């Protein structure tokens, strides 16, 4: 099966060297991602497109995975699913086109488009007229409309090969990941920080994650999970880092020494200072946040102005004018909504009558009461891991077992998302298997039979390990992990 990938339009208006660099980057990203699905997938770059060929040996599950991966790869405007044939006569082309488009053009206006490369003794218009005439006679369209057709019948000819476009898939747009400079995104696990991270990834910036832990280990587990989901869906062609800074002591310092009206602004400024020092270590010039004007009290324009004075780094706010419903809807499209809604909001400090018009002089006066060593200590205790190593660095307790065999009193719980379960069901004859999506585990675990052991399962063992750790910490010691032998 063959796919023709069309570039995001902004790429095509770049200078020749920049355009070539972007195409090479997109080709490289696709090679990395698609060869993980099937090692014999080939990706070829051209001036105006990229061609992806999936070998005949690939299963339908693998083909579907290729399609879903390309839908979420930045830099692609859309891609065409095409069937390839030797170029024959006009009538042969018509006969191959008819079964593909007969149902699609029934009762609708249509237009045949032929894109031709190479030397031929006919023009594209000649073929368009012949195939269009045949479709008028043998299908049941409304009519040909060359200006605003409801359906385009797309054919491509490259030398002596014919390509019939069977389906078009919408891409993500944006620039290829890694084509822009890296950024450090402050991620809390909430809707805003997830979407702002997505937007910089879509724009081509290699996006690293910085998490300020205000809510303990369970909070960290949840945020790592959503960051991993976001990276696997959008950015798995780039190696990025997840940085955790313990911030409970910093919050305590603020609660004890800052007037309640300025706690929120001071907390954000302390985060900016910490983020700047982490970014310096990583040689990153920009910090990304999920703030939107006036969404909460600390996000007024005067307050944001004072917050930004705490750092010399560029502060990027992709959501600055985006409404909350749009942000929430984006998390649904990204497949992160069900995870994010289960992560509690940890605001750190609750201000009584918080200021909406902070003055830098007053903020500096409040900050003079803080202990500088507290922030220094928090930064010195930060932990940096590669995001794809999250599952290996969870410090999972030794009593959380990963079993490869299932005994009589054990139940396997498939925690994958419903679409994954549908595509690749877990067939285990003779075993009790329950399907509980990961985002329903917290609410349903209390209803499980305490006399049995439950083995959580997911494809790569990451989600199952995360949730097993979290549930054991809450007292559910009958939760383990099922990891079949490969």
Positions annotated as catalytic residues are 458
Rg (Cα) of the chain, in Å, rounded?
Answer: 27
The DSSP annotation for 312-335 comes to SSEEE-TTTT--HHHHHHHHHHTT
Tokens 């940890």 label which residue? 346
Question: Other C-beta atoms within 10 Å of 366: how many?
Answer: 19
What are the E-state strand segments in 140-237? 143-144, 151-158, 161-173, 180-186, 205-213
Structure tokens at 11: 């790429």
CB 316 within 8 A of CB 198: no
Give the separation between CA 356 and CA 471, rounded to whole angstroms. 40
Tell me how many degrees the CA angle 28-33-35 measures, rounded to the nearest 5.
95
CB 409 within 8 A of CB 455: no
Contacts of 63 (CB under 8 A, 6+ apart): 1, 54
CB 30 within 8 A of CB 3: no
Question: Other C-beta atoms within 10 Å of 341: how many?
Answer: 14
3-state SS class at 254:
helix
Torsion, CA 194, CA 199, CA 202, CA 206, rounded to 10: -70
Bridging pattern class, strands 151-158 and 161-173: antiparallel
Structure tokens at 104: 């699609």
CB 22 within 8 A of CB 8: no
3-state SS class at 171:
strand
Give the separation between CA 42 and CA 483, rounded to whole angstroms. 31
């Amino acid at each position: 099966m063959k796919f023709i990938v069309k570039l995001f339009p902004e790429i095509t208006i770049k200078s020749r060297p920049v355009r070539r660099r972007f195409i090479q980057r997109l080709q490289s990203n696709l090679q990395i991602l698609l060869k993980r699905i099937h090692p014999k997938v080939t990706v070829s770059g051209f001036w105006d497109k990229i061609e992806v060929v999936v070998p005949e040996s690939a299963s339908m599950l693998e083909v579907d995975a290729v399609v879903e991966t390309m839908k979420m790869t930045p830099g692609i405007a859309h891609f065409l699913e095409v069937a390839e044939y030797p170029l024959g006569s006009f009538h042969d082309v018509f006969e191959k086109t008819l079964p593909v488009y007969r149902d699609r053009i029934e009762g609708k206006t249509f237009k045949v488009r032929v894109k031709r490369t190479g030397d031929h003794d006919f023009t594209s218009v000649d073929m368009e007229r012949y195939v269009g005439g045949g479709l008028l006679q043998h299908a049941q369209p409304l009519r040909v409309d060359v200006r605003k057709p409801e359906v385009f019948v797309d054919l491509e000819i490259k030398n002596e090969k014919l390509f019939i476009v069977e389906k078009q898939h919408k891409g993500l747009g944006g620039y290829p990941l890694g084509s822009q400079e890296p950024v450090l995104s402050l991620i809390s696990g909430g809707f805003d920080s997830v979407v702002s991270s997505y937007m910089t990834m879509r724009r081509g910036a290699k996006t690293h994650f910085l998490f300020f832990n205000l809510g303990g280990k369970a909070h960290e587990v949840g945020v790592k999970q959503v960051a991993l989901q976001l990276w696997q869906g959008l950015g798995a062609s780039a190696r990025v880092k997840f940085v955790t800074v313990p911030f409970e002591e910093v919050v305590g310092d603020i609660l004890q020494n800052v007037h309640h009206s300025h706690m929120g602004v001071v907390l954000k400024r302390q985060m900016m200072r910490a983020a700047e020092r982490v970014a310096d270590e990583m040689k990153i010039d920009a910090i990304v946040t999920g703030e939107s004007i006036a969404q909460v009290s600390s996000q007024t324009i005067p307050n944001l102005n004072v917050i930004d004075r705490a750092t010399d780094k560029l502060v990027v706010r992709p959501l600055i004018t985006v409404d909350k419903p749009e942000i929430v809807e984006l998390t649904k499209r990204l497949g992160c909504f069900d995870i994010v809604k289960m992560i509690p909001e940890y605001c750190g400090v609750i201000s009584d009558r918080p200021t909406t018009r902070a003055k830098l002089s007053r903020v500096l006066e409040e900050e003079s009461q803080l202990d500088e060593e507290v922030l220094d200590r928090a930064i010195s205790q930060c932990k940096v891991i590669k995001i794809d190593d999250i599952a290996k660095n969870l410090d999972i307790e030794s009593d959380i077992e990963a079993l490869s065999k299932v005994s009589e009193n054990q139940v396997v719980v498939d925690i994958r998302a419903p679409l994954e379960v549908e595509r690749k069901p877990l067939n285990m004859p003779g075993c009790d298997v329950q399907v509980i999506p990961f985002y329903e585990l917290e609410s349903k675990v209390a209803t499980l039979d305490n006399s049995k052991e439950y083995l959580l399962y997911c494809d790569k063992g990451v989600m199952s390990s995360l949730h097993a750790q979290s549930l054991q910490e809450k007292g559910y010691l009958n939760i383990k992990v099922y990891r079949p032998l490969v």
